[in-house]
């Protein structure tokens, strides 16, 4: 086994040689002539002169050896359906989809907006766009019309691909009326809309614009659509960052660098091998879904499990807190990727459910999307008996910034830490006001990345280079570094600990406190399943901390809530000091969050301050916030 330190140092000191080796993990139609172009830093160009295609690397190159092996396993506990597509069948489905899109006028460089639930045709649509050289922009299914309209205007798609409806917890959400209203609101009008009819909701078609897949498909069933060979620096997709306010901010990603980054991560980070099965519980509307539901596993020659449903809902629609482990057993899942929030949901179930099914095929469970607290990590690790590997990254980075690369060296994980910088990422801590490097262990600073950024990192903000520079590279005085907008500390061995957003700092009577630090303290209380802490305006102290906790035993009566509040306050005071003690601790049944698992702290803060919580189109369960609004009064 190689030394990770030497592996990492080579990626930083000799990036051209290092990434030239990684580039051999994918197929090139024309090998790159220049590995790294630094002439316009912080804009970085990788693999100049090379031509490749994401769809080819995800499908075509595997056909000689894996045509009859599983590629996409589509499972929906919402409709009680399961279907496995082999690589040969995936090849046929994607060519058919590409041919349909081509017949609607889609070609190289055109944008296609995808607004779909977690079903196989959504994956086919993404891969079909890549095959044609079109730029896909996936918008999370169920987004409200106004937010969808703003993304239509920014992406200016030639075609929109959607469906009649999605379903969540047995509740059908009709997409078509939302889409029709979004198109009405948008200044840009797509030439065509391609629709999957699942039979879940009525779907009125606009004549001349709307086309049903099942009616178009027969004419394209045997179509052969060759891959469009793309320059490495061409745009593969744009993805709008979660929580964007005002004008949407589209993260723009390339083709060649992205393919290489994913291929390398599957080997070095996830230890994946062709023929194995990968199960990522995210959604294609988020970056994790792009990378580790669709492209990464398929580039690696694996089967990818595409899941529609809740983590506590069985295929028969009845409650089943072991559904994920049932699927791990049935499909012999080797690598799994989820979010801490999902694990906290399972934490409220009977622990025996973790041992109900044979999960011996599973080598590791990766978690990302938000900081992983120690109690949750310990609970799931002991329950499953497999390594729990935290990792930290962003929509912008495209793949993990901090984790451990067990494919290089079996480094130990540390509870509470996502890990160490991954190869290619020059990560450091700086002072938020001066930009000075912070090198003392335990010293708190802003987590930043120096240029050149590695392959797979965002190229720029779609159609707005200046916004890319101003937002990400010019926010720290005195230095030009990429800001993650997260606080962090580093220990003596180089492990990073993420403390929360730089804009989630509470200023209590002149003392700066991170909400993440308070949440970590509260999570240690054995009666707490989930927690969110926000800073709320206070006339006396400027701000105070307010905590919302989901009790493991459920919300009891007022006496139980007051008892838990007192205990939690004591836990925080004992751990962090009286200054960090929340002003209030509210017991709630659920926390408002996006479907990807991110807590909507801004909405909680607005409710506490009796302000309008704003655009909540990403919220998974609106009732959770409404209940909190009633509680606050």
Who's near 574: CB < 8 A, 6+ residues apart?
A: none
Percent of the chain with pLDDT over 70: 97
In this prediction, residue 541 has a pLDDT band, given cuts at 50, 70 and 90, of: confident
In this prediction, residue 141 has a pLDDT band, given cuts at 50, 70 and 90, of: confident
| Structure tokens, 620 | 């998974």
105-119, 130-144, 485-499, 508-522: the lowest-pLDDT one: 508-522
pLDDT tens, position by position, 454-510: 999 999 999 999 999 999 999 999 999 999 999 999 999 999 999 877 767 777 766
Beta bridge partners of 238: 137, 252
Q: Which residue has the higher pLDDT, 140 or 484?
A: 484
The model carries a pTM of 0.87
Residue 180 has pLDDT above 50, yes or no: yes
| Structure tokens, 115 | 């607004």
Residue 85 has pLDDT above 60, yes or no: yes
Question: Does residue 306 sit in helix, strand or coil?
Answer: strand
pLDDT of residue 515: 84
Residue 618 has pLDDT above 70, yes or no: no
SS (H, E, C) 407-459: CCCCCCCECCECEEECCCCEEEEECCCCCCECCCCCCCEEEEEECCCCCCCCC
pLDDT of residue 512: 67
SS (H, E, C) 480-512: CCEEEEEEEEECCCCCEEEEEEHHHEEEECCEE
Assign residue 49 a region (left: φ > 0; alpha: ψ between -120 and 50; beta: otherwise): left
Over residues 404-427, mean pLDDT: 95
Average pLDDT of the chain is 93
Residue 430 has pLDDT above 90, yes or no: yes
Dihedral, 143, 147, 151, 157 alpha carbons, nearest 10: 60
Instruction: State the Cα–Cα distance between residues 51 and 108, nearest whole angstrom.
Output: 14
Q: Which residue has the higher pLDDT, 511 or 514?
A: 514
pLDDT tens, position by position, 256-306: 999 999 999 999 999 999 999 999 999 999 999 999 999 999 999 999 999
CA 522 to chain centre: 26
Residue 620 has pLDDT above 80, yes or no: no
In this prediction, residue 244 has a pLDDT band, given cuts at 50, 70 and 90, of: very low
pLDDT of residue 264: 98
pLDDT tens, position by position, 43-69: 999 999 999 999 999 999 999 999 999
Helices assigned H by DSSP within 14-53 = 15-22
Q: Which of 252, 234, 28, 226 is nearest to 128 (CA)?
A: 226
pLDDT of residue 1: 54
Instruction: State the Cα–Cα distance between residues 435 and 332, nearest whole angstrom.
Output: 48
Instruction: State the Cα–Cα distance between residues 238 and 124, nearest whole angstrom.
Output: 17
Instruction: State the Cα–Cα distance between residues 532 and 579, nearest whole angstrom.
Output: 18
pLDDT of residue 617: 63
pLDDT of residue 503: 67
121, 267, 293 from 300: Cα distances, Å = 21, 8, 12
Residue 610 has pLDDT above 70, yes or no: yes
Q: Which fold has domain 4-309+391-471?
A: Rossmann fold (3.40.50)
pLDDT of residue 35: 98
**Is 509-632 the same fold as 4-309+391-471?**
no
Say if CB 250 and CB 137 are below 8 A apart. yes
Over residues 538-560, mean pLDDT: 88
111, 370, 520, 533 from 543: Cα distances, Å = 45, 24, 19, 12
In this prediction, residue 245 has a pLDDT band, given cuts at 50, 70 and 90, of: very low
Instruction: State the Cα–Cα distance between residues 521 and 573, nearest whole angstrom.
Output: 9
CB-based burial, 534-565: b 16+ in 10 Å, e otherwise: bbbebeebebbbbbbbbbeeebeeeeebeebb
Over residues 231-259, mean pLDDT: 86
Neighbours of 609 (CB within 10 A): 15
Instruction: State the Cα–Cα distance between residues 296 and 290, nearest whole angstrom.
Output: 8
pLDDT of residue 335: 98
552, 626, 629 from 558: Cα distances, Å = 16, 19, 17
pLDDT of residue 248: 79
328-337, 340-349, 393-402, 457-466: the lowest-pLDDT one: 340-349
Beta bridge partners of 45: 37
One of 1.10.10.10, 3.20.20.80, 3.30.390.10, 3.30.300.30 is the CATH number of 509-632, namely 3.30.300.30
Over residues 327-345, mean pLDDT: 93
- How close are the terminal C-alpha atoms of the chain, in Å? 59
pLDDT of residue 616: 66
Segment holding 571, helix H or strand E = helix 558-576
Percent of the chain with pLDDT over 90: 78
pLDDT tens, position by position, 433-443: 999 999 999 99
Instruction: State the Cα–Cα distance between residues 240 and 252, nearest whole angstrom.
Output: 9
Beta strands in 118-209 (DSSP E): 135-138, 159-163, 165-168, 171-174, 192-196
Domain ranges for the chain: 4-309+391-471, 509-632
19, 38, 322, 462, 576 from 13: Cα distances, Å = 11, 14, 46, 30, 40
Instruction: State the Cα–Cα distance between residues 133 and 343, nearest whole angstrom.
Output: 37
pLDDT of residue 514: 77
Assign residue 275 a region (left: φ > 0; alpha: ψ between -120 and 50; beta: otherwise): left
Instruction: State the Cα–Cα distance between residues 215 and 594, nearest whole angstrom.
Output: 34
């Amino acid at each position: 086994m190689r030394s990770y330190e030497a592996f990492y140092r080579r990626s930083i000191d000799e990036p051209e040689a290092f990434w030239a080796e990684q580039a051999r993990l994918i197929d090139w139609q024309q090998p790159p002539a220049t590995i790294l172009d630094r002439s316009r830093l912080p804009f970085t160009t990788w693999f100049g002169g090379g031509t490749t295609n994401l769809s080819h690397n995800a499908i075509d190159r595997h056909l000689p050896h894996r045509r009859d092996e599983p590629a996409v396993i589509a499972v929906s506990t919402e409709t009680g359906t399961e279907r496995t597509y082999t690589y040969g069948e995936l090849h046929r489905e994607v060519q058919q989809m590409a041919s349909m899109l081509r017949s609607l006028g889609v070609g190289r460089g055109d944008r296609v907006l995808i607004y779909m639930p977690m079903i196989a045709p959504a994956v086919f649509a993404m891969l079909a766009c890549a095959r044609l050289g079109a730029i896909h922009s996936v918008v999370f299914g169920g987004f409200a019309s106004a937010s969808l309209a703003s993304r239509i205007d920014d992406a200016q798609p030639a075609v929109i691909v959607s469906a009649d409806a999605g379903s969540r917890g047995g509740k059908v959400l009709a997409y078509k009326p939302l889409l029709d209203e979004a198109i009405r609101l948008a200044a840009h009008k797509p030439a065509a809309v391609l629709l999957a009819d699942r039979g879940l909701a009525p779907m009125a078609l606009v004549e001349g614009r709307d086309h049903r897949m099942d009616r178009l498909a027969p004419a394209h069933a045997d179509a052969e659509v060759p891959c469009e060979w793309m320059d490495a620096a061409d745009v593969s997709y744009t993805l709008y960052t979660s929580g964007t306010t005002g004008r949407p901010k589209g993260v723009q990603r390339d083709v060649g660098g992205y393919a290489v980054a994913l291929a390398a991560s599957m080997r070095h980070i996830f230890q994946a091998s062709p023929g194995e099965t990968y199960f990522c519980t995210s959604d294609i509307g988020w970056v994790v879904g792009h990378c580790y539901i669709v492209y990464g596993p398929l580039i690696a020659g694996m089967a990818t499990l595409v899941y529609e449903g809740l983590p506590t809902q069985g295929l028969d629609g009845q409650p089943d807190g072991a559904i994920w482990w049932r699927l791990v057993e049935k499909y012999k899942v080797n690598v799994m990727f989820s979010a801490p929030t999902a694990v906290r949901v399972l934490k409220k179930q009977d622990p025996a459910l973790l041992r109900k099914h044979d999960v011996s095929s599973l080598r590791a469970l990766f978690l990302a999307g938000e900081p992983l607290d120690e109690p949750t990590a310990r609970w799931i690790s002991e329950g499953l008996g497999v390594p729990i590997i935290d990792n930290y990254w962003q929509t912008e980075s495209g793949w993990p910034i901090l984790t451990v690369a067990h494919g290089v060296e079996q480094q130990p994980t540390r509870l509470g830490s996502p890990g160490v910088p991954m190869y290619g990422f020059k990560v450091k801590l700086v002072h938020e006001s001066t930009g000075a490097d912070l090198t003392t262990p335990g010293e708190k600073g802003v987590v930043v990345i120096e240029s050149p950024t590695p392959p797979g990192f965002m190229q720029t903000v779609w159609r707005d280079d200046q916004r890319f520079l101003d937002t990400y590279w010019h926010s720290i005085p005195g230095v030009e570094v990429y800001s993650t907008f997260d606080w962090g500390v580093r220990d003596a061995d180089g492990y990073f600990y993420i403390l929360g957003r730089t804009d989630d700092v509470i200023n209590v009577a002149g003392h700066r406190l991170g909400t993440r630090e308070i949440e970590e303290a509260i999570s240690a209380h054995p009666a707490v399943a989930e927690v969110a802490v926000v800073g709320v305006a206070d006339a006396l102290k400027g701000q105070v901390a307010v905590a919302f906790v989901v009790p493991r035993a459920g919300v009891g009566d007022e006496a139980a809530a007051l008892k838990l509040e007192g205990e939690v306050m004591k836990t925080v005071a004992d751990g962090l000091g009286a200054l960090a003690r929340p002003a209030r601790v509210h017991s709630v049944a659920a926390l408002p969050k996006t479907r990807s698992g991110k807590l909507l702290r801004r909405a909680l803060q607005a409710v506490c301050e009796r302000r309008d919580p704003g655009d909540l189109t990403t919220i998974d369960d609106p009732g959770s916030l409404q209940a909190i609004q009633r509680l606050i009064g």
